[in-house]
Structure 1
Amino acid sequence: MQIAPSQKPKERPDNMAERIYQQLKEDIFEFRLLPGDRFSEGEVAERVQASRTPVRQALYRLERDGYLEVYFRSGWQVRAFDFNYFEELYDVRIVLESAALARLAQMDIKGNQTFDALRKTWLVPPAAQVQDTQQVSALDERFHCALVEAAGNVEMARLHAEITEKIRIIRRLDFTQKPRIEATYAEHAQILHAILQRRTEQAQQLLKSHIEMSKKEVRKITLHMLHVARQRSAIRTVAPDV
């Protein structure tokens, strides 16, 4: 466990439970807690200087969300990656994002602020491309969410956002190699050009290939890569207080 002790004043249990939940989830996403790591309820309570009630609420919420497993005689464990599950989520992404592109083809997107912002982010020379893994992951996530949101279907965007949240932990590992960052810029640029030029079928095919490549990279993730990610995270930042 790498959660820094809290120095904050006392607060309501429900607020504390939310803060502990967010902290633990961030620790999982940032690989300060790795799949298979075990810890006790008491350990969390001691480190965050909270009673067991809000800690227990946060832990069970994380279990419901699929991030933790509870062992009643031996504490809690970060859930191991289910790669088949992640691949299925990537397949659903393809369906939703392809449908979004079809809707965009029926809309007037000239002068659309969303696409103006996407052009400024992705249609840039190599010297202007972001190289930080975490930043590129966030930008990549925003690219795909922006396309779905621009299509104007609220429920489609909601479902896509839920999937985005679930695959975020895997997505960050997709950018630990520089060639993947370079490929993402190139592929996003191709997709944008196709959308703006009303070549919808080509845009859909490019998008599908782009997501399929990310899905393939998921299968290459190893425990060693996770440990490297944890080490990089430890160097980049110190775990915030809960």
Structure 2
Amino acid sequence: MYPTDTEEKKRPLNLAERIYQQLKNDIFDFQLLPGDRFSENEIARRMQASRTPVREALYRLERDGFVQVHFRSGWQVRPFDFRYFEDLYDVRTLLEVAAVKRLCGRAGLKEQLAGLLTLWCCHEGQRLNDSSLLAEMDEDFHFALLELSGNQEMAAIHRMVCERLRIIRRLDFTQQGRITATYDEHSHILNLMLSGNAEEAAGFLSQHIDVSKNTVRHITLHRIQAAKSRYNINIRAD
């Protein structure tokens, strides 16, 4: 049976998506290091694909802020610029603080926060330890604050900022102590919000984000250095 037109149209999109996800994972896992250069042909050979889906995936990664294109010398993983990430963290903090202040004192807030209270204010024996799952849950917690605030433009900007921070934010949950701290801190933020103390809730939330930022900065620097050391050892071994 021959593929339908719809199936034919889906194939390159699915392949481009697969290449996009693989390259993004390689960047997240420091298999592709900040500053590494490569060509479309190199990726096409590695992925056993034509240049069209590779180019589509790379331009999507460029829009997401993970790679840069140099028209005379190919592509490059975006060099790590902590000032850039700190600027994103500042925007994220402003948005989340504004959202929490809007929510504090709102009628029916406990009902609106019911799902978050169930997830984060549970007994220690009910807490999860899967770092990948916790990274997603943490993101969803902060997304929910913006969604519940009712300003969809703020929520959209916040989601875009968090997408660009994801490359380093997910590292926050590679340490057991940070998983425990996140449960405790999210629970405390929710309880402060329910108490109606907007300033204290906003202040603690800001501190919570700042601790996470400093933690992932330290882990990221360590991971990059370790990856560079492995790369140099492999080169010398060859």
Query: Same fold by TM-score, threshold 0.5 exceeded?
Result: yes
CA distances 1:75-105 after superposition (whole Å, capped 9, x unpaired)? 4332222111111111111110111112112
Identity %: 56
User: 2:234 aligns to what?
Assistant: none
Counterpart residue identity of residue 49, structure 2: A
- Aligned-residue offset at 1:177: 1.4
Task: Tell me the distance in 2 between the aligned counterparts of 1:140 and 1:61.
Answer: 25
> Please, what TM-score do these two structures have when normalized by structure 2?
0.81
Given that 1:36 and 1:80 are in contact with CA atoms closer than 8 Å, whether structure 2 keeps it comes out as yes
Task: Tell me the distance in 1 between the aligned counterparts of 2:108 and 2:29.
Answer: 36
Q: 1:117 to 1:38 in 2, by over 3 A?
A: same
User: 1:48 aligns to what?
Assistant: 47
Which secondary structure does the structure 1 equivalent of 2:75 belong to?
strand
User: 2:145 aligns to what?
Assistant: 147
- Aligned-residue offset at 1:28: 2.5
Task: Tell me the distance in 2 between the aligned counterparts of 1:12 and 1:222.
Answer: 36
- Aligned-residue offset at 1:122: 0.7
Q: Which moved more, 1:207-216 or 1:104-113?
A: 104-113
Task: Tell me the distance in 2 between the aligned counterparts of 1:97 and 1:126.
Answer: 26
Which secondary structure does the structure 2 equivalent of 1:107 belong to?
coil
Task: Tell me the distance in 2 between the aligned counterparts of 1:173 and 1:126.
Answer: 22
Task: Tell me the distance in 2 between the aligned counterparts of 1:148 and 1:44.
Answer: 38
CA distances 1:79-137 after superposition (whole Å, capped 9, x unpaired)? 22211111111111111011111211253234535x11111111122222222221111
Counterpart mapping for 1:49-198 below 5 A: 49-71=48-70, 75-105=74-104, 107-110=106-109, 112-113=111-112, 115-198=113-196
Task: Tell me the distance in 1 between the aligned counterparts of 2:110 and 2:181.
Answer: 27
CA distances 1:15-34 after superposition (whole Å, capped 9, x unpaired)? 53344223322432344433
Given that 1:34 and 1:226 are in contact with CA atoms closer than 8 Å, whether structure 2 keeps it comes out as yes
Given that 1:67 and 1:79 are in contact with CA atoms closer than 8 Å, whether structure 2 keeps it comes out as yes
Which secondary structure does the structure 1 equivalent of 2:173 belong to?
coil
Task: Tell me the distance in 2 between the aligned counterparts of 1:226 and 1:215.
Answer: 16
Counterpart residue identity of residue 33, structure 2: L
Task: Tell me the distance in 2 between the aligned counterparts of 1:228 and 1:122.
Answer: 33
Give unpaired runs (5+ residues) of structure 1: 1-8, 230-242
User: 2:20 aligns to what?
Assistant: 21
- Aligned-residue offset at 1:74: 5.2
Task: Tell me the distance in 2 between the aligned counterparts of 1:222 and 1:26.
Answer: 15
> Please, what TM-score do these two structures have when normalized by structure 1?
0.80
Given that 1:83 and 1:218 are in contact with CA atoms closer than 8 Å, whether structure 2 keeps it comes out as no
Which secondary structure does the structure 2 equivalent of 1:76 belong to?
strand
Task: Tell me the distance in 1 between the aligned counterparts of 2:73 and 2:147.
Answer: 43
- Aligned-residue offset at 1:37: 3.9
Give unpaired runs (5+ residues) of structure 2: 1-6, 228-238
Q: Which moved more, 1:38-47 or 1:26-35?
A: 26-35
Higher relative CO (Cα under 8 Å, sequence separation at least 6) belongs to 1
User: 1:199 aligns to what?
Assistant: 197
Q: 1:149 to 1:220 in 2, by over 3 A?
A: same
Which secondary structure does the structure 2 equivalent of 1:219 belong to?
helix
Q: Which moved more, 1:42-51 or 1:156-165?
A: 42-51
Task: Tell me the distance in 2 between the aligned counterparts of 1:123 and 1:193.
Answer: 9
Across the aligned residues of Structure 1 and Structure 2, the Cα RMSD in angstroms comes to 2.5
- Aligned-residue offset at 1:155: 0.3
Q: Which moved more, 1:180-189 or 1:218-227?
A: 218-227
The structure whose residues are more often helix, as a share, is 2
Task: Tell me the distance in 2 between the aligned counterparts of 1:195 and 1:79.
Answer: 38
Instruction: Tell which structure's C-alpha radius of gyration is larger.
Output: 2
Task: Tell me the distance in 1 between the aligned counterparts of 2:222 and 2:200.
Answer: 37
